[in-house]
């Protein structure tokens, strides 16, 4: 089923939780709403579910209008046939696993034998076979999450909604369930909306990501494009571009742009034309796109390659797959780098050279 | 066109539900208050129809009479002393139970909470037997021991002492929960940063629980100012009047003066309102109890040699509040008359008799009273709690228009003394041309209004513990609102609802004030039966009924304990 959201708006008092947004979700697509808390992503999802009444706008699920302000349509939640997994799991503690999962089918007046069959099948699908009679309050967090998933799948919903479903789990379990969730969704091909503030989760799960801020849609792209081409410095920051520095355009050379870093006056080359930015521009680089190598403390800086900065290591921190470094290039210019080579002899105080290839040097409008 | 039609229909439904609830709450609470206010400004009883009412301020001018001033002074002295006694016992026991290594902890907790279920009427009867006049048990014992001291409970000090004893559970519960909910990390971090036990208590613990202390102090002060049963049983016969007794006297001594009574009622309500709003203002945004940890075990402070002294302190309270009154009731119930010659005969089985029990068990009035009490309590438990649930649900779980106002009205009886409400209900239902006035129904109606704040709060507290996602999940699963309430909300709230029902039955059985203004020959409840026995001077009868009455309350409290623990 497709989901169509037009000009949706919801205000609480004076603040607009959603400031008139338009989103289209294609059949079988997994759309992730990504943004910091209070950006309107959860409100958007709750409007789709019908748990929240928008002020104006239009929502259609699979071509069926479920909300339209102008036509006075607002289909109650229980008639929208959406599946939803809540952040708090919302597993009913006074029921067994089976009773929790069979509830939607009972509400739909499905026959007893059919209920038994479908609940058994779905519990098997989520890996909870044999848990039927377990009291819901005796489950672990991960198990509750699976029950919640089973409960929303069993009714064969037109769409699935996920409200930060993994945020209450510990890191290992979260990674594990994330993979399973993606597998299940691609296998069942259910149109889904997933709300999260975790960029890693968003990138891993999404067919398409909608970045929201202050109730507006800031960018709408597939994960790869979003990751490599964030549209603004705020989005870049949110996506883990930890090196973001004020810069000014100095000149254009063919297909590339030369900028000067405001902090130390160093020139950097970036691919492509400079962006339009009313408030100036910033130069950004992801820490894992930076090449770091040890140099002699007294070496001349003249014969270093293009786009290379020299600085002293302030911090070296081993994080398993990478070494994380903070490097002071200038008093107001601290860079962050992630190096795959964790054995390199780079310590606090080591003089290093940082190189960013022009393709990875991103110029964005400042906000 | 069709759509606008349904939208209109939906809006009508949205408005009609709160409108109906407003109408019900208005009849139960607001109209009675207005009746009292109205009566205080006119010169005839409402609906007396003897002549047209004239507007007058004379009732308020009469407030300055010396007997009213004396009543006000008595009220304040009694309440201040009573509050002090309650705070000493309540806070002391709460701290000992929550933060010290005092022995017999479960007993300490029981002693702190149990007196809340003791009927004030019965307590007053028992203490009158214990310490009023020469033949009272304690006075007799003192005389036998050669101690030249005679206790007199029928005095301001005596009433203050009793109020103090029986309101102790409030500061106890407030402070105990505050102390157990304060995150122990806060005290431990103070210890890590060099604080001594004494300084941590003063600089960290006390400021954190101060709102609970001040809040409960003002609360019980309000309760004492408006209290009726204790001054009625102990003060009225001795000619000691408080404001509440003034109202009763003005209504009950011929010729009755309802207008003067109303003016005093308005004055008393004004005092209570001021105190309640002060309490609210002080507590507003200062309730630190929500800063709770994971229920981690707090540090217990070793008392050393003082342990047994502290335990004796709690035991003393328990003996005063529960042990001695029970002893007195048993003595009163099992003796042919109140006079006891000496200490030895107190324990002489041969002087005892079951005559009183035989009398009581053959007394039709007792059965009628018991039946009426059970009917009243049961009806409030079912219909009252049903109403509180609906109001609470509309306020907390819907976005219907005007829902906040419902909560204010539901809480209003906190700021209106019980006997003022009773007066208002009396005049309201006299005027209603339905066969309600003079029946048990009017008593039930008064109970439903009077107990609303307590019932509403118990249900609302348990409703707050249920994440609304649990309900939303049902809606998403295809349940209608009605199915959701039946299958999810009500089962999850069962504990809260059952505990509210138990509280209502117990409150209903204990109630004296409203019943006294509203009962007729056909609608005596159990408390009225005790009251009338006293009025007839039949102390043995009163003691006997009280003993049975206490047994009933104790059984109910015991059965409901499991559920009510969550509520207290």
pLDDT single digits (tens) A294-350:
888 777 777 788 889 899 999 999 888 889 999 999 888 899 999 888 777 888 988
**A contact test, residue of B477, B480, B483, B484 with most A CBs within 10 A:** B477
Nearest CB neighbour to B478, from listed A78, A94, A148: A78
Q: Is B43 inside a domain boundary?
A: no
Give chain A's radius of gyration (CA, Å).
25
Tens of pLDDT, residues B278-318: 887 877 755 444 444 444 566 677 888 888 999 999 999 99
The CA distance from A79 to the nearest CA of chain B, in Å, is 6
Interface ipTM above 0.90: no
pLDDT of residue B293: 40
**CB contact set of B439 (below 8 Å; sequence gap of 6+):** B520, B522, B523
Tens of pLDDT, residues B518-531: 998 888 999 999 99
Residue A86 sits at the chain B interface (C-beta within 8 Å): yes
pLDDT of residue B292: 41
Are residues A83 and B476, on separate chains, in Cβ contact within 8 Å?
A: yes
**B contact test, residue of A49, A83, A86, A110 with most B CBs within 10 A:** A86
Of the candidates B114, B97, B17, which has an alpha carbon nearest to the alpha carbon of residue B397?
A: B17
The model carries a pTM of 0.82
Residue A282, SS3 per DSSP: strand
Q: Answer whether B446's CB lies under 8 Å from B426's CB.
A: no
Q: Is B399 inside a domain boundary?
A: yes
Distance from C-alpha of B309 to C-alpha of B440, rounded to nearest angstrom: 49
Tens of pLDDT, residues B238-261: 889 999 999 988 888 878 888 888
Q: Is B28 inside a domain boundary?
A: no
pLDDT at B567 over 70: no
Give chain B's radius of gyration (CA, Å).
25
Give the Cβ contact number of residue B535 at 10 Å.
Answer: 11
pLDDT of residue B126: 92
Percent of residues, chain B, with pLDDT higher than 90: 33
Structural domains of chain B, count:
1
Complete DSSP assignment for B498-527? HHHHHHHHHHHHH--HHHHHH--TT---HH
Residues of A in contact with B492 (CB under 8 A): 92-94
pLDDT at B3 over 50: no
pLDDT of residue B291: 41
Looking at the DSSP bridge assignments, the partners of residue B451 are none
Question: At A364, which helix (H) or strand (E)?
Answer: strand A362-365
Residues of A in contact with B480 (CB under 8 A): 76, 78
Span between the terminal Cα atoms of chain B, in Å: 54
Residue A266, SS3 per DSSP: coil
Of the candidates A339, A297, A333, A334, which has an alpha carbon nearest to the alpha carbon of residue A317?
A: A339
Nearest chain A alpha carbon to B470: A90
pLDDT at B4 over 60: no
By mean pLDDT, which of B74-78, B357-361, B509-513 is the weakest? B357-361
Q: Answer whether B286's CB lies under 8 Å from B211's CB.
A: yes
Are residues B3 and A87, on separate chains, in Cβ contact within 8 Å?
A: no
pLDDT at B564 over 70: no
Residues of A in contact with B493 (CB under 8 A): none
B219-231 average pLDDT score = 92
Distance from C-alpha of A66 to C-alpha of A76, rounded to nearest angstrom: 8
**Mean model confidence pLDDT for chain B:** 86
pLDDT of residue B294: 43
Tens of pLDDT, residues B125-150: 999 989 888 888 888 888 888 888 88
Give the E-state strand segments of B150-298 in sequence order: none
Q: Is B129 inside a domain boundary?
A: yes
pLDDT at B47 over 80: no
Q: Is B30 inside a domain boundary?
A: no
Residues of A in contact with B470 (CB under 8 A): 90, 92
Residues of chain A with pLDDT under 70: none
Q: What is each CA distance from A41 to A164, B157, B358, in whole angstroms?
A: 10, 64, 74
Q: Answer whether A365's CB lies under 8 Å from A278's CB.
A: yes
Are residues A77 and B483, on separate chains, in Cβ contact within 8 Å?
A: no
pLDDT of residue B289: 43
Q: Could you say which DSSP state residue A324 is in?
A: E
Nearest CB neighbour to B475, from listed A77, A93, A148: A77
Are residues B492 and A49, on separate chains, in Cβ contact within 8 Å?
A: no
B513: containing domain: 56-565
Are residues A107 and B479, on separate chains, in Cβ contact within 8 Å?
A: yes
pLDDT at B361 over 90: no
Are residues A155 and B478, on separate chains, in Cβ contact within 8 Å?
A: yes
pLDDT of residue B208: 82
Q: Answer whether B197's CB lies under 8 Å from B210's CB.
A: no
pLDDT of residue B286: 53
pLDDT of residue A27: 92
Are residues A104 and B7, on separate chains, in Cβ contact within 8 Å?
A: no
Q: B15-43 burial, b if ≥16 CB within 10 A, otherwise e?
A: eebbeebeebbebbbebbbebbbebbbbe
Are residues B491 and A94, on separate chains, in Cβ contact within 8 Å?
A: yes
pLDDT of residue B255: 81
pLDDT of residue B522: 85
Q: Is B289 inside a domain boundary?
A: yes
Structure tokens at B510: 């204990």
Structure tokens at B150: 């005679």
Distance from C-alpha of B311 to C-alpha of B300, rounded to nearest angstrom: 15
Residue B159, SS3 per DSSP: helix
Tell me the CATH number at B513. 1.10.3720.10
Q: Is B69 inside a domain boundary?
A: yes
Are residues B478 and A71, on separate chains, in Cβ contact within 8 Å?
A: no
A–B CB contacts, 8 A cutoff, strictly below: 70
Q: Is B24 inside a domain boundary?
A: no
pLDDT of residue B476: 92
Of the candidates A118, A183, A176, A119, which has an alpha carbon nearest to the alpha carbon of residue A142?
A: A176
């Amino acid at each position: 089923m497709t989901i169509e959201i037009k000009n949706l708006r919801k205000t609480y008092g004076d603040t607009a939780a959603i400031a008139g947004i338009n989103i289209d979700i294609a059949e079988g697509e997994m759309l992730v709403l990504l943004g910091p808390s209070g950006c309107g992503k959860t409100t958007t999802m709750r409007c789709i579910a019908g748990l929240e009444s928008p002020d104006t706008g239009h929502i259609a699920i699979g071509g069926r209008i479920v909300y339209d302000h102008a036509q006075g349509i607002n289909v109650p939640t229980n008639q929208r046939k959406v599946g939803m997994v809540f952040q708090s799991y919302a597993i009913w503690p006074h029921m067994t696993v089976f009773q929790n999962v069979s509830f939607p089918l009972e509400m739909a007046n499905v026959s007893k034998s059919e209920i038994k069959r479908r609940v058994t099948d779905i519990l098997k699908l989520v890996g909870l076979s044999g848990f039927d009679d377990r009291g819901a309050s005796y489950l672990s967090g991960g198990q509750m999450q699976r029950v919640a998933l089973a409960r929303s799948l069993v009714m064969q919903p037109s769409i699935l909604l996920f409200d930060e479903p993994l945020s209450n789990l510990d890191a290992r379990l979260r990674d594990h369930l994330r993979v399973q969730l993606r597998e299940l969704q691609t296998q069942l091909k259910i149109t889904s909306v997933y709300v999260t503030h975790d960029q890693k989760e968003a990138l891993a799960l999404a067919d398409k990501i909608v970045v929201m801020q202050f109730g507006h849609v800031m960018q709408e792209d597939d994960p790869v494009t979003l990751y490599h081409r964030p549209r603004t410095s705020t989005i870049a920051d949110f996506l883990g571009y930890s090196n973001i520095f004020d810069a000014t355009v100095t000149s254009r050379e063919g297909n590339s742009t030369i900028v000067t870093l405001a902090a130390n006056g160093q020139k950097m080359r970036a691919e492509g034309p400079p962006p339009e930015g009313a408030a100036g521009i910033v130069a950004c680089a992801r820490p894992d796109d930076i090449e770091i190598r040890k140099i002699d403390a007294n070496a001349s800086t003249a014969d270093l390659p293009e786009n290379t900065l020299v600085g002293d290591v302030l911090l070296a921190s081993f994080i398993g797959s990478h070494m994380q470094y903070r490097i002071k290039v200038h008093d107001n210019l601290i860079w962050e780098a992630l190096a795959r080579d964790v054995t390199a002899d780079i310590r606090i105080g080591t003089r290093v050279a940082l190189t960013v290839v022009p393709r990875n040097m991103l110029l964005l409008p400042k906000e | 066109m069709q759509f606008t039609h349904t939208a209109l229909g939906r809006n009508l439904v949205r408005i009609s539900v709160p409108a109906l609830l407003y109408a019900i709450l208005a009849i139960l609470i607001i109209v009675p208050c207005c009746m009292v206010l109205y009566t205080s400004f006119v010169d005839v009883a409402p609906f007396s129809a003897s002549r047209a009412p004239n507007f007058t301020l004379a009732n308020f001018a009469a407030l300055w009479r010396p007997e009213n001033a004396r009543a006000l002074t008595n009220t304040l002295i009694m309440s201040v002393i009573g509050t002090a006694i309650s705070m000493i016992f309540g806070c002391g026991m709460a701290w000992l139970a929550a933060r010290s290594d005092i022995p017999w902890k479960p007993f300490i907790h029981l002693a702190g909470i149990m007196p809340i279920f003791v009927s004030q009427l019965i307590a007053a009867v028992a203490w009158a037997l214990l310490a009023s006049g020469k033949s009272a048990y304690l006075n007799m014992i003192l005389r036998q021991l050669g101690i030249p001291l005679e206790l007199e409970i029928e005095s301001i000090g005596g009433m203050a002492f009793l109020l103090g004893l029986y309101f102790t559970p409030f500061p106890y519960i407030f402070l105990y929960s505050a102390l157990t909910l304060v995150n122990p990390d806060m005290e431990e971090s103070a210890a890590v940063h060099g604080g001594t036990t004494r300084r941590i208590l003063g600089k960290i613990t006390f400021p954190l629980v101060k709102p609970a202390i001040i809040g409960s102090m003002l609360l019980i002060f309000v309760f004492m100012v408006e209290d009726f049963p204790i001054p009625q049983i102990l003060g009225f016969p001795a000619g000691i009047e408080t404001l509440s007794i003034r109202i009763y006297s003005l209504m009950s001594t011929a010729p009755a003066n309802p207008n003067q009574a109303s003016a005093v009622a308005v004055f008393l309500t004004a005092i209570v309102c001021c105190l309640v709003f002060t309490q609210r203002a002080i507590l507003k945004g200062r309730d630190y109890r929500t800063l709770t940890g994971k229920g981690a075990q707090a540090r217990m402070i070793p008392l050393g040699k003082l342990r047994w002294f502290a335990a004796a302190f709690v035991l003393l309270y328990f003996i005063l509040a529960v042990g001695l009154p029970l002893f007195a009731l048993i003595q009163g119930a099992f003796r042919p008359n109140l006079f006891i010659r000496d200490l030895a005969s107190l324990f002489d089985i041969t002087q005892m008799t079951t005559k009183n029990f035989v009398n009581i068990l053959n007394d039709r009035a007792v059965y009628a009273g018991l039946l009426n009490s059970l009917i009243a309590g049961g009806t409030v438990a079912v219909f009252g709690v049903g109403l509180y649930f609906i109001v609470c649900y509309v306020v907390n779980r819907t976005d219907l228009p005007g829902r906040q106002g419902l909560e204010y009205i539901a809480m209003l009886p906190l700021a209106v003394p019980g006997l003022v409400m009773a007066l208002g209900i009396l005049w309201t239902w006299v005027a209603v041309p339905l066969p309600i006035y003079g029946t048990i129904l009017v008593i039930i109606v008064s109970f439903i209004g009077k107990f609303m704040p307590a019932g509403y709060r118990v249900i609302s507290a348990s409703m707050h513990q249920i994440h609304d996602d649990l309900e939303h999940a049902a809606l998403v699963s295809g349940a209608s609102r009605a199915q959701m309430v039946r299958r999810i909300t009500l089962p999850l709230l069962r504990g809260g609802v059952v505990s509210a029902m138990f509280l209502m039955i117990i409150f209903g059985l204990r109630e004296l004030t409203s019943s006294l203004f509203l009962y007729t020959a056909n609608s005596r409840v159990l408390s009225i039966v005790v009251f009338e026995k006293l009025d007839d001077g039949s102390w043995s009868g009163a003691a006997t009924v009280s003993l049975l009455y206490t047994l009933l309350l104790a059984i109910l409290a015991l059965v409901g304990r499991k559920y009510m623990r969550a509520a207290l």
